[in-house]
Amino acid sequence: MNILVIDDKKSVRDAISHSLVSLGHSVNTAVNGLDGYEKAQKMSYQLYIIDHLMPLMNGVVLSKNLKKKPFCAKTPILFMTTQEIESVKRLPESTLFSSIISKPLNETAFISAVESLTTTVNDEYLSKIAL
């Protein structure tokens, strides 16, 4: 599965990429929201993992922009934040996120969230093939 990881911190991108590759996923990274938006338009992804607070374009704006594009409107978003999850859930845009996870990341919780979202994507794909 192709996954795009968007985070302004290299150490976070590297750690997430390592975890995802070890699970058998193909991973590309972006250094900020604008970079992520540009990469999302050039390649198809089955999951976006997006940091909340980034320069140039934050995660909320990036998520809004991605969901406006037909080619990625249904692609799940795993949203990562250092803010309180409950405050993020109160944002009007919180409905854009398939799942919200706290940073710093707990690897077990992170992998569980990714597996849940990738299973959903695989199930939808298989149901389309069966038709």
CATH number of 2-130: 3.40.50.2300
Q: What is the pLDDT of residue 124?
A: 55
Each of the 131 residues of the chain gets a pLDDT tens digit; together they read: 999 999 999 999 999 999 999 999 999 999 999 999 999 999 999 999 999 999 999 999 999 999 999 989 999 999 999 999 999 999 999 999 999 999 999 999 999 999 999 886 555 544 444 44
Give the other-Cβ count within 10 Å of 108's Cβ.
Answer: 8
pLDDT for the residue 42: 95
Tokens (6 digits) for 98: 């398939």
Q: Which pLDDT does position 77 carry in this prediction?
A: 98
pLDDT number for residue 130: 46
> What is the pLDDT, as a whole number, of residue 122?
52
